[in-house]
Amino acid sequence: MSRSRSTAVSFLRARLLHDRPVYVHWAVTSRCNLRCRSCTIWERDSADEICGDDVAALADVLAEIGCLQVSLGGGEPALRDDLVEIVSTLLERGIRTRVLTNGVAMVPALARELLDAGLREFSFSLDSLDPKIQEEMDNTPGAYSKRLRNLAALAEMLPERGCLPMLNTVVTPHNFRELPTIVELAGELGFHASLIPIHLPPCADDEHRFYGQAPELRFDEESGAELREIYNEIIALKRRGGPIINSSTFLERSPDYLLEGHAEWPCRAGELFFSISPQGRVAPCHAFEDRWEVDFRDLPDTLGSADYSRELEAKIAECEGCFRPCWAEISLLMLEVRALGEMVRVQASTKLRRRKIDTRSLQRRLEASR
């Protein structure tokens, strides 16, 4: 059976039986070349990472428990010298693999090696087309032009069929008016836009915080009506077939999350998805990192145990919630027919249709920023 066919069969099986994790986010490093205001991962800056035989052993465990898709994030995955090897190890085991990158170190030579290893799924972060806004978010001078150059090169290198590249945009008060333009750019490059409502920790002394302490990135009530208008525009664009990967349900609930700090969705952390740290520790999601983790080697036994299921249920019931798309969209995909239909259409179009790739407007922006 071809890889894509067997993934589709495994996915349908998982949807019916809910007997396997569908998705894993593996932060392969906490090192980073940016200092984003929205994020605190870079503060950890540790080189304590599993590598070599442990990477192969982790990939074996993920294959054994039936995991269908892994996203490699961080920190910045492009800083790992063995990123190509990690990707090959996962792909060889039939696990769909995506690399998330801020783009600054995703130079054409590395992108070429990843493509040659069989990688077809890239998520490239870009929050703004205004150099001032982007550099303010990056909190690191000089990153804007490097990432735009690498984005243009990547768009031109990706095959016209069979890829699902994404532009990841964190939605904040500084960039929300740009969302339709960012979606348009994603379309020109043959990418899909993925709009991520900014998550900010509730209080400064939250010792497990993962995201940045940046009160200026919180929406106030005054911008509420305009934010909802922009999201209505995005939802209408999606209905007309615009290149937006988020499900309609996710988009409809995003303004509530941004304005009120809460959005309803059926969380299935630790059951349908997991988070893995650079050291190979497995938690139900990012919120449990450093608090409730198991070594990856113990995952197959842990998953099947009654104690685990009981404790998981209690812990999730206590959670204050999040609206991180990788988690929420997986649950929606597995539980909501509309979200599943939308994803099937996107996947089918990437196989059947040639992506049009036009980097001219991106090149113009790059020229203008020099």
Ligand X SMILES: C[S@@+](CC[C@H](N)C(=O)[O-])C[C@H]1O[C@@H](n2cnc3c(N)ncnc32)[C@H](O)[C@@H]1O
| Residue ranges that bind ligand X, judged by CB under 6 A | 32, 36, 38-39, 41, 73-76, 100-102, 125, 168, 170, 196, 198-200, 211-212
Does position 178 interact with ligand SF4 (CB under 6 A)? The reply is: no
User: Are the C-beta atoms of residues 86 and 80 closer than 8 Å to each other?
Assistant: yes
Does position 312 interact with ligand SF4 (CB under 6 A)? The reply is: no
Does position 326 interact with ligand SF4 (CB under 6 A)? The reply is: no
How far lies 39's CA from each of 11, 247, 350, in Å?
32, 24, 31
CB-count burial class (<10 Å; 0-12, 13-18, 19+) for 305: exposed
Q: Pick the piece of the chain touching ligand SF4 (CB under 6 A) from 157-165, 227-235, 240-248, 320-328.
A: 320-328
From ligand SF4, ligand X, none, interface partner of 287 (C-beta below 5 to 8 A by class)? ligand SF4
How far lies 118's CA from each of 49, 89, 95, 113, 167, in Å?
24, 11, 12, 9, 20
Residue indicated by tokens 């995506």 = 98
- Select 13 or 44, whichever has its Cβ closest to ligand X: 44
User: Are the C-beta atoms of residues 60 and 30 closer than 8 Å to each other?
Assistant: no
- Footprint of ligand SF4 on 263-302 (CB under 6 A): 267, 269, 285, 287
Minimum distance between the CB of residue 370 and ligand SF4, rounded to whole angstroms? 23
Minimum distance between the CB of residue 115 and ligand SF4, rounded to whole angstroms? 22
Four-CA torsion 77, 82, 85, 91, nearest 10 degrees:
-10
Does position 74 interact with ligand SF4 (CB under 6 A)? The reply is: yes
- Give the x-and-dash track for 331-370 against ligand SF4 (CB under 6 A): ----------------------------------------
User: Are the C-beta atoms of residues 266 and 217 closer than 8 Å to each other?
Assistant: no
From ligand SF4, ligand X, none, interface partner of 168 (C-beta below 5 to 8 A by class)? ligand X
Residue indicated by tokens 């303004």 = 255
* H or E element at residue 199: none
Minimum distance between the CB of residue 170 and ligand SF4, rounded to whole angstroms? 8
CB-count burial class (<10 Å; 0-12, 13-18, 19+) for 220: exposed
Compute the distance between CA of residue 190 and CA of residue 165 in angstroms, rounded to an integer.
8
* H or E element at residue 282: strand 281-283
Nearest one of 92, 69, 100 to 7, comparing CA atoms:
69
Minimum distance between the CB of residue 22 and ligand X, rounded to whole angstroms? 19
- Select 138 or 342, whichever has its Cβ closest to ligand X: 138
Minimum distance between the CB of residue 37 and ligand X, rounded to whole angstroms? 8
- Select 41 or 299, whichever has its Cβ closest to ligand X: 41
Nearest one of 168, 125, 118 to 33, comparing CA atoms:
125
Compute the distance between CA of residue 215 and CA of residue 222 in angstroms, rounded to an integer.
15
Q: Pick the piece of the chain touching ligand SF4 (CB under 6 A) from 39-47, 88-96, 214-222, 303-311.
A: 39-47
- Select 53 or 318, whichever has its Cβ closest to ligand SF4: 318
Does position 42 interact with ligand SF4 (CB under 6 A)? The reply is: yes
* H or E element at residue 223: none
Q: What is the contact surface with ligand SF4 in residues (CB under 6 A)?
A: 32, 34, 36, 39, 41-42, 74-76, 102, 267, 269, 285, 287, 316, 319, 321-322, 327
